[in-house]
Copies of this chain bind each other. A is one copy, B any other.
Amino acid sequence: MYQRKIPIDYECGLSVAMEVVGSKWKFCILDEVSKGIKRPKDLVNAINGITKRVLQKQLRELELHGLLEKTIYTEVPLRVEYHLTASGRSLLPLVSAVDQWGMGFSSQLKTILETEE
């Protein structure tokens, strides 16, 4: 998320986790991939608001961090698929827990933000 000048504290789980999945789209991407959406093109369509370029960068980071793996099929047209690694799968319970917490908190947040204005 935000962790370059102040280096990662490998002793702090929160610091490590933030480094790896603390950005706007990571959880969404992992979620969609786990649901079977694996091609970049399909992910762009599935994730509301993301652009091709940003998705590409996030996929690259998830791949570098070892949460996703890429497979290239030499078909026509070219087909590329991303799938979860074991580490990626180990994150799924967290993704769904965060998602569920957010759903439960949604109405409260809505109320708060609408009252503010």
Query: Which A positions have Cβ atoms within 8 angstroms of B?
Result: 1-3, 6, 8-20, 22-24, 27-28, 31, 48-49, 64-66, 87, 90-91, 93-95, 97-110, 112-113, 116
Contacts and interface: CB of A to CB of B under 8 A. Distances in A.
- Helix, strand, loop or mixed for chain A's interface? helix
A64 B116 CA distance: 9
A24 B8 contact: no
A113 B31 CA distance: 24
A16 B65 contact: no
Nearest to A100: B13
Given A23-B1, A87-B108, A105-B87, A6 B98 contact: no
B14 A106 contact: no
Contact of A14 (B16, B66, B90, B98): B98
A101 B94 contact: yes
B116 A17 contact: no
Q: Which of A14, A22, A48 has the most CB of B within 10 A?
A: A14
B23 A106 contact: no
Nearest to A16: B102
